Amino acid sequence: MASHRRPKQPSRARVTVLTAAAATAVALSAQVSAHAAPAKPNKDEVKAQVDKLLEEQEQAAERYNGAKERSDQLRKQADQLQDQVARGQGQMTELASGLAAVAGQEYRSGGMDPSMQLMLSTNPDGYLAQASSFEQAASTQADTLKSLKDQQRRLDQQKQEAAAVLAELDRSTQALNDAKTEVQSKLKDAQKLLSQLSAADRAAVMGDRASRSDDRFDLSNLPAPGGYAAVAVDAAMSKRGSAYVWGATGASTFDCSGLMVWAYAKAGVSLPRTSQSQATVGTNVGTNVANAQPGDLVIYHNDAHHVAMYIGNGLVVHAPRTGDVVKVMKADAMPIKTIRRV
């Protein structure tokens, strides 16, 4: 009679191993498929993200400009205070030396009061002659002591002021470094996004030289400004095509506020470094472009992080953003915060 044996059932451990292996194979297959056919980034989405990053980069760049301007001012102030402290210390040393000489003379004379020494002199006729000199010396000594105390107070105050300025300089330097790091981070993120696109799509997002040109505007009949505004407008317009570089104030690269600083400097007018500070100079013209005159500063966005120069006929010249160049655009192409007449 034939023997029928039941097939051996797989152990629980073997079932677990086989199940895990199958799951791993499925996961690996999914990963391979994902790598084999990565999702193509949407050009319009990338453009929106890049535009946002570059706007945030410009905001950070203006914070950097402000921190740098403040750091430069504080460094100059600290140098001046330290020079004053050094001079004050020298004067203190000179005054103290004078008093030390007087004290040494008294010690050598046995500590006797000078007036007593004069009265006990064997030359009575000389007493009257020396008495006047003694009074003058005593007065000089008192004045020297008072000057020494006054100088000590001034020196202590200068030291405190220098310490406070140096502490603020440290804080300003940290803000400067933080803003610089933020700018570089925004640019890096934007570049990472752009690297996902084809060369053609990158050109479409950032704009090629032709699309960045301002040749579409008629600049042949711009109104002629007067005075120093004419010099500033001509200077700014002469830099059309120059590259935007954050933190730059010329003469071949500019950021938005740097172009204004450089152009007006050519006219002998000093402007503050940041667009936020430039939003407070001169006279407020409002927000209506119809009231603007060539040379006026047009400040954009609620936080005033961009600035351009009005050139007439509803147009401005400006340094737009990273990857772009100094060019002309419509004055109302962005939300206007204020127009300032310098």
- Decide if 142 is inside a domain: yes
pTM score of the predicted model? 0.70
Whether the per-residue pLDDT at 221 is higher than 80: the answer is yes
- Decide if 73 is inside a domain: yes
CA distance 264 to 269: 5
Indicate whether 87 and 188 sit together in one domain.
yes
Indicate whether 225 and 82 sit together in one domain.
no
Find the range with the poorest average confidence among 75-79, 202-206, 259-263: 202-206
Of residues 326 and 200, more confidently modeled = 326
Q: What is the pLDDT of residue 26?
A: 47
Of residues 339 and 123, more confidently modeled = 339
Paired strand residues for 315: 312, 330
Indicate whether 184 and 234 sit together in one domain.
no
- Decide if 208 is inside a domain: no
Whether the per-residue pLDDT at 6 is higher than 70: the answer is no
CA distance 254 to 263: 11
Q: Of 4, 35, 305, 306, which one is the catalytic site residue?
A: 306
Indicate whether 261 and 317 sit together in one domain.
yes
Q: Of 35, 301, 305, 318, which one is the catalytic site residue?
A: 318
- Decide if 53 is inside a domain: yes
DSSP of 206-232: H--TTTT--TTS--TT-----HHHHHH
Indicate whether 141 and 245 sit together in one domain.
no
Indicate whether 52 and 122 sit together in one domain.
yes
Domain range for 75 is: 43-194
Among 163, 194, 225, residue at a domain's last position: 194
Q: What is the pLDDT of residue 138?
A: 58
Indicate whether 184 and 263 sit together in one domain.
no
Residues in contact with 263: Cβ distance below 8 Å, sequence separation at least 6, in sequence order: 232, 233, 235, 236, 239, 309
- Decide if 18 is inside a domain: no
Whether the per-residue pLDDT at 158 is higher than 50: the answer is yes
- Band (pLDDT 50/70/90 cuts) for residue 205 is confident
| Amino acid, single-letter form, for residue 315 | L
Indicate whether 243 and 273 sit together in one domain.
yes
Among 165, 194, 223, residue at a domain's last position: 194
CA distance 165 to 160: 9
Whether the per-residue pLDDT at 322 is higher than 70: the answer is yes
Indicate whether 105 and 134 sit together in one domain.
yes
Paired strand residues for 284: 340
Per-chain mean pLDDT for the chain:
82
- Decide if 55 is inside a domain: yes
CATH number of the domain bearing residue 254? 3.90.1720.10
Q: How many domains does the chain have?
A: 2
Residues in contact with 41: Cβ distance below 8 Å, sequence separation at least 6, in sequence order: 193, 196, 197
Smallest CA-to-CA distance from 329 within 217, 166, 244 is with 217
Indicate whether 187 and 276 sit together in one domain.
no
Of residues 24 and 92, more confidently modeled = 92
Q: Would residue 4 show up in a list of annotated catalytic residues for this protein?
A: no
Among 194, 224, 247, residue at a domain's last position: 194
CA distance 312 to 293: 6
Percent of the chain at pLDDT > 70 equals 72
Whether the per-residue pLDDT at 28 is higher than 50: the answer is no
Report CA-CA distances (Å) from 39 to 42, 49, 190. 9, 17, 19
Indicate whether 183 and 224 sit together in one domain.
no
- Decide if 292 is inside a domain: yes
- Decide if 336 is inside a domain: yes
Residues in contact with 160: Cβ distance below 8 Å, sequence separation at least 6, in sequence order: none
Q: How far apart are the first and last CA of the chain?
A: 116
pLDDT tens digits along 112-138: 555 555 545 555 555 555 555 555 555
Whether the per-residue pLDDT at 201 is higher than 70: the answer is yes
Indicate whether 268 and 147 sit together in one domain.
no
